[in-house]
């Protein structure tokens, strides 16, 4: 692996990579992206759960599909070097 060259994923252009990174900045968007990616694969989630024989992708799809972003009283804290 040559670490001196800029990273590109599957030959994607830098603007496309940057747009993808912005989509993945929050958990709701991560789960939405998983649902978008796997939505047409025929996965099932009866009663919001994957079948017992489900693949890892089907499990991830079900988790993402049932994710709910509930507001809470906790606040995000930023890590800082002190």
* Residue-level pLDDT, tens digit, the chain, 82 residues: 444 445 444 555 566 556 666 777 788 888 999 999 998 999 999 988 889 999 999 999 999 999 888 776 555 555 555 4
- Domain assignment of residue 33, yes or no: yes
- Domain assignment of residue 73, yes or no: no
What is the spatial distance between Cα 14 and Cα 41, in angstroms, rounded to a whole number? 28
- Domain assignment of residue 61, yes or no: yes
- Domain assignment of residue 71, yes or no: no
- Domain assignment of residue 80, yes or no: no
- Domain assignment of residue 74, yes or no: no
The pLDDT assigned to 35 comes to 92
Domain span at residue 41 reads 26-66
Domain count, the chain: 1
The pLDDT assigned to 61 comes to 92
- Domain assignment of residue 36, yes or no: yes
């Amino acid at each position: 692996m040559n670490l001196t060259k800029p990273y590109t994923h599957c030959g994607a252009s830098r603007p496309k990579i940057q747009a993808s990174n912005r989509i993945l900045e929050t958990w709701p968007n991560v789960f939405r992206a998983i649902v978008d990616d796997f939505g047409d694969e025929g996965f099932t989630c009866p009663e919001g759960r994957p079948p017992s024989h489900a693949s890892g992708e089907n499990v991830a799809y079900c988790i993402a599909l049932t994710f709910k972003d509930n507001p809470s009283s906790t606040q995000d804290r930023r890590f800082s070097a002190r």
